Amino acid sequence: MLTDMDTYLFDLRGFLLLKNALSTEEVAAINAGIDRMLPLERGEWYGHVHGHSFGGGDEGLNLQQIYEGGEPFERLIDHPSWIDKVKYFVGGEGTFDYNHGPLFIDENFANVRGPGQAIGLHSGGHEGTKRTQFRFHNGRFQCGQINILMALTDIGPGDGATMVVPGSHKANLPHPEFDKYRMGSEEPSVDHVTGAIEIHMAAGDAILFVDAISHGSAKRVNPGNRRIIVFRYGPSWGSSRHGYRSSEALLNRLTPERRQIVHPQRSAAYDPDKDIALKRAANPQ
Ligand SMILES: O=C(O)CCC(=O)C(=O)O
């Protein structure tokens, strides 16, 4: 349940911390699944999971399409700890944005990051990108992309925590240090960005944030690896960020609710005749 305070703070800051979003058992099952996939090189596949990196610096290894990795990953698609919150902030119920269902996941990946690695500053309200926008209009949230970033390891000082500039989803101007610390720059990390804060998490916690907030991570300095998973949710008419297609095997084994989020257009729940009839009834002319 979202409280009025959650909603207020999300609007103000652009993110919420969800404590204990995943149980110890869920985190253990996910980590065991990732252990089975590693080592994986960039460009290699483990089944339908793809070894990948964003390419803007030394950000560690991404395991793209992680929801293909088995049941512990599938349950993240509509996890009760966040799915209603995500629907609320993406919004769109009763509008064209809901044409094929409430949501679509346009990217989902695990990230494994070791010492010396980080992701530079990116995003911000000044960009005005429609896909990632923060939007509150007509008394409701209508955000383009809400991310759930789950901690699979404890992430404290020195661990390369996710960093955000609170409130920057509403920025009209670029952060003056943006170019110095952005992805692809000579110092691609958020450690020294004025106004940025580290979000420390225990394994199983998650951050819900609008992608328009300026964000990235601190550089990991501690030994060992940091592990996270990111699911990016937007309206049902979206498409895969990297052009991935979910496997038939996955689509066939998902529950109807999960399948609708992974592949809204082929949802058995969608009946075009019924949809047209409903729209005519709502808007007779
Ligand atoms: O790796 C992180 O902590 C931040 C992830 C990130 O930059 C993103 O989800 O866009």
End-to-end CA distance of the chain: 38
What band does 96 get if pLDDT is binned at 50, 70 and 90? confident
In this structure, which residue's CA is closest to atom 6 in ligand 1? 216
How far does the centroid of ligand 1 lie from the alpha carbon of residue 8, in Å? 23
In this structure, which residue's CA is closest to atom 10 in ligand 1? 216
Handedness of CA 48, 63, 70, 260 (dihedral sign): negative
pLDDT for 285 equals: 52
Mean pLDDT of 257-267: 86
For residue 171, pLDDT beyond 60 = yes
In this structure, which residue's CA is closest to atom 4 in ligand 1? 216
What is the per-residue pLDDT across 112-160, written as a single tens digit (0 to 9) for each? 999 999 999 999 999 999 999 999 999 999 999 999 999 999 999 999 9
Mean pLDDT of 235-262: 95
Ligand 1 closest atom vs CA 149: 9
How far does the centroid of ligand 1 lie from the alpha carbon of residue 163, in Å? 8
pLDDT for 54 equals: 85
Number of structural domains found in the chain: 1
Main-chain phi, psi angles of 280, to 5 degrees: -60, -45
How far does the centroid of ligand 1 lie from the alpha carbon of residue 277, in Å? 42
How far does the centroid of ligand 1 lie from the alpha carbon of residue 63, in Å? 13
CATH number at residue 158: 2.60.120.620
Q: What span, in angstroms and rounded, lies between the C-alpha atoms of 35 and 29?
A: 10
For residue 269, pLDDT beyond 90 = no
Q: What span, in angstroms and rounded, lies between the C-alpha atoms of 60 and 52?
A: 9
- Quote the percentage of the chain above a pLDDT of 70: 92
For residue 280, pLDDT beyond 90 = no
pLDDT higher for 141 or 282? 141
pTM: 0.93
Angle at 54 between CA 259 and CA 73, to 5 degrees: 30
How far does the centroid of ligand 1 lie from the alpha carbon of residue 119, in Å? 7
pLDDT for 14 equals: 98
Q: What span, in angstroms and rounded, lies between the C-alpha atoms of 258 and 78?
A: 6
How far does the centroid of ligand 1 lie from the alpha carbon of residue 140, in Å? 26
Helix, strand, or coil (residue 31): helix
What letter does residue 182 receive in the DSSP assignment? B
Mark residue 262 as left, alpha or beta (left: phi above 0; alpha: psi -120 to 50; beta: remaining): alpha
pLDDT for 99 equals: 79
Mean pLDDT of 260-282: 67
pLDDT for 282 equals: 62
For residue 275, pLDDT beyond 60 = no
Q: Quote the mean pLDDT of the chain.
A: 93
What is the per-residue pLDDT across 7-41, written as a single tens digit (0 to 9) for each? 999 999 999 999 999 999 999 999 999 999 999 99
Structural domain harbouring 108: 4-282
Tokens of 96: 């064209």
For residue 283, pLDDT beyond 70 = no
Task: Name all residues whose Cβ lies below 6 A of ligand 1.
Answer: 111, 119, 147, 149, 162, 215-217, 230
pLDDT for 273 equals: 64
